[in-house]
Amino acid sequence: MQKKDFNPGKVILFSTTHFIHDLYTAFLSPLLPLVIQRLNISLLKAGALLPIFRTPILLQPYIGYHADRGKASKFLPLALLITSISMSIFANAGTYLVASIILFITGVSAAFYHAPAVFLIAESSGKRYGTGMSIFMTGGELARALGPLYIVTILKFVSTKYSFIASFPGLIFTFVLVLTVYNVKPGKQEDKLPEKSKLTFRILFQHGGKILYLLIYISIFQSFTKFSFSLFLPTFMKSIGFKLFAAGVSLTTLELTGAVGALIGGTVSDLIGRKKFLIFATVAIPIFINAFLWSKTLYLKYIFLLIEGAFMFSISPVRYALAQELVPEYKGTVSSLLMSLSFFTTTLSSLLTGYLGDKLGLLLTFRIISFIPLVTIPAIIFIPERKNR
C-alpha cells in the first residue's frame, strides 16, 4: 500500500464535516420530549426509537469493505445531506411511524457517512493514524456536546415547524464535500493483497489474528462504561437533588472535555505508545468516576467530570489507530467493525444499567460499572507495542 504523508488540510476538513454530521444525530435526545408531547406516546415507545435509530449501524462493516476498495466514499456528501435534513424535520413527525422512518433513514445515512469518512481520514493521515483519528473523533465529541444546545437555541426563537432551518450548515458542507471527495484517489492496495476483491470477515480475522479479537474485547468492555455513564448521568444528577439545568450541564461538561480527550488521546499515544496510554487511561476511569460520586458540591463534581471526560473519551481513537495499524489494508472495514459493536454495547449497557439502577440505585450502579474497564488491562498487556510511529 502506498504510504502518504499526513495531510492536515484534508484531516481538518473531514473532521469538520464529522462535527457537522454528528451535530444532527445529537438532536434525538433534546427533541424527544417534543415528540412525546406531539405524538402523545409512552416512554416505552419513545425509548424504542433509539434501537430503530441505531440498527443501521450494523451496515458499517459492509460499507467499510467497499470504502477500502475506494467505492463508498462518493456517498459521503449524500449521507451528510440526508442526515442534516431528516433530523432537522424530526420534531415535525406527524405519527409514530413517520418518526420511526425518519430515524431509520438517518441511521442508514449515518452508517454511509462514518464508514467512508474513517477510511478517508486514514488515507489522509499517512503513518500518523493516531493523530488523524483523534482529530476526527474530536469533531464527533464536540458535536455531541453542542448539538443539543444548537437545536434548542433555534427552537427558542422559532416554532417547531421552522426547525428545518437547522439544516443550513449541513447543506453548506454537503457542497464542500462534493468538491472534495470526488478528487480523492485512494492508495493502491490490490497489488499487495490480490484477495482483497473477495474480502470476507474470515480473511479479515486471519490478517488481524488474535490481536483483533483482543481489540474487540477491549472495545466492548470499555465502551460499556462510557455509554452507561453518559446515558444516565443527567438522571443521576437529578436524582440526588440537582435541578435539570445543572444535570444537563453535567453531560455537556463530560462531553466537552471528552472532545479534548479524543483530540489528545491518539496524539499522545503516537508519542508514548498505545499500550502505556491505554493502561494509564483505563486505570484513571474508575478513579475519577468514584471521585465524582464521593464529592459533595456541584463544583467539585464538575471538576471531576472534566477530568473523567478527558480520560474516558481518549481511548476510542487509540483503539481505532491500533486496529488500522493491525490491518492497514482494510482500514475502513476494521474501523467499521469496531463501530458496529457499539450497537450491541449501547443496547446491553443501557438495559443492564437501567435494570441495576432500578434495583440498586444509580449511585451503587455507577460504582459497579466504573470498574468494568479494568477487566481489559490483561488484554491490553498482550497487545504488542509497535515501533516506528
- pLDDT on residue 211: 79
Q: Do domains 1-187 and 196-383 have the same CATH topology?
A: yes
Q: How far apart are CA 187 and CA 125, in angstroms?
A: 12
- Count the Cβ atoms, other than its own, within 10 Å of residue 325: 18
What rounded mean pLDDT belongs to the chain?
79
Fold designation for 1-187: Growth Hormone; Chain: A; (1.20.1250)
Taking only the tens place, the pLDDT of each residue in 24-72 is 998 887 777 677 778 887 656 666 677 788 777 777 666 655 555 555 5
Domain spanning 196-383 has what CATH number?
1.20.1250.20
- pLDDT on residue 70: 54
Contact predicate 43/163, CB 8 Å: no
Q: How far apart are CA 228 and CA 353, in angstroms?
A: 6
Taking only the tens place, the pLDDT of each residue in 307-342 is 999 898 888 878 877 777 777 666 666 766 776 676
Angle at which helix 129-157 crosses helix 8-25, to 10 degrees, equals: 40
DSSP string, 60-90: HHHHHHHHHTT-SGGGHHHHHHHHHHHHHSG
- pLDDT on residue 161: 85
Higher pLDDT, 385 or 309: 309
Q: How far apart are CA 278 and CA 263, in angstroms?
A: 15
**C-alpha angle with apex 247: 47 to 135, nearest 5 degrees?**
80
Taking only the tens place, the pLDDT of each residue in 82-115 is 999 999 999 898 899 999 999 999 998 988 888 7
Binned at pLDDT 50, 70 and 90, residue 230 comes out as: confident
Q: What is the pTM of this model?
A: 0.65
Q: Which grid cell is 385? A: 507495542
Contact predicate 252/149, CB 8 Å: yes
Q: CB-side exposure of 130: number of CA atoms within 13 Å?
A: 23
Contact predicate 341/220, CB 8 Å: yes
Binned at pLDDT 50, 70 and 90, residue 185 comes out as: low
Contact predicate 24/83, CB 8 Å: yes
Residue 4: what residue type?
K
Sequence ranges of the domains in the chain: 1-187, 196-383
